[in-house]
Chains A and B, each alone.
Chain A
Amino acid sequence: DAGITQSPRHKVTETGTPVTLRCHQTENHRYMYWYRQDPGHGLRLIHYSYGVKDTDKGEVSDGYSVSRSKTEDFLLTLESATSSQTSVYFCAISPGGLNYGYTFGSGTRLTVV
C-alpha cells in the first residue's frame, strides 16, 4: 500500500489550457507539499498545506494554485499552462516535526506543448 498516490503519472497538454494534478494520501498526515523538479534546479517548493483549507506559497508559486478540501487530497492547478511549466511534479506528505521525513509520490511528468 503506497500511502500516497499521484495522478495522472503522465500528461501532455497545450499551452493556455488549465491542468489539475491530484495527490491522494491514506496516512492522515497533516502536511502536504507540491514540488517541481527540473534539471539544474533540483526540487523547488510550489505550495504546501498545513491542514484542510490551510495553504501557503513556496518559492515558485506564480502560475499555480492549490486546494485542500479534505485531509487526504491536495490538488495543484495550473490555471493556464505555459511551456516553462513543463516539469516533473512531486507531491509529498509529512506528519510534521523535526524527526519525520517526507514520503513522496511517484511524480507526474507534465509536458506543455
Chain B
Amino acid sequence: TQLLEQSPQFLSIQEGENLTVYCNSSSVFSSLQWYRQEPGEGPVLLVTVVTGGEVKKLKRLTFQFGDARKDSSLHITAAQPGDTGLYLCAGLNSGNTPLVFGKGTRLSVIA
C-alpha cells in the first residue's frame, strides 16, 4: 500500500504569515494532487502536478512536485482567514488506479 505522510497535522497562524505544508512518500507517483476541504463539504481540487520538479502557482498558493516524484509541498504566502481548511494531498500511481490520500493538514488562519 502506498502511503502519503502530511506534515504538520495542525497549523494555526496569524493572518499575513507564510506557511508550507509537506506531503511525503517512499513511493513514486505519476501525479500528485492537492485538495482543500471546508467543514460539511467534500474536498475541492486545487491543483494537479505530473512532472518531477514542476511548480504551479494559484494566486498566493505555490505547489511543487519533487524531482523524484515522491513528495510535494504547498506554500501559502500572506495567509488569509479564507485559507482556513483541511488541505489534502493525494497521489495517483497510474491514470486508472484510485487516488491515495494523505491524512491532511488542518490550517487555521486567525485574523
Contact = CB atoms under 8 A, between A and B. Distances in A.
Q: Are A and B genuine complex partners?
A: yes
Interface of A: 31, 33, 35, 40-45, 48, 50, 58-59, 90, 92, 96-107
Given A33-B98, A98-B48, 12 more contacts: A31-B96, A33-B99, A45-B98, A45-B99, A50-B96, A92-B42, A98-B92, A101-B35, A102-B99, A104-B42, A104-B44, A106-B42
Given A42-B103, A50-B96, A58-B98, A98 B31 contact: yes
Contacts of B99: 33, 45, 102
A97 to B, nearest CB: 5
Contacts of B103: 40-42
B45 A102 contact: yes
A99 B43 contact: no
A3 B104 CA distance: 25
A43 B101 contact: yes
Interface residues of B, number: 25
B41 A42 contact: no
Interface of B: 1, 30-31, 33, 35, 40-45, 48, 50, 88, 90, 92, 94-96, 98-99, 101-104
A44 B3 CA distance: 11
A28 B89 CA distance: 25
Contacts of A35: 101
17 contacts: A33-B98, A42-B101, A42-B102, A42-B104, A43-B101, A44-B101, A45-B99, A58-B98, A59-B1, A99-B50, A101-B45, A102-B43, A103-B45, A104-B43, A106-B41, A107-B40, A107-B41
Nearest to A43: B101
A99 B31 contact: yes
A108 to B, nearest CB: 10
Given A41-B103, A42-B88, A42-B104, A101 B48 contact: yes
A100 B1 CA distance: 22
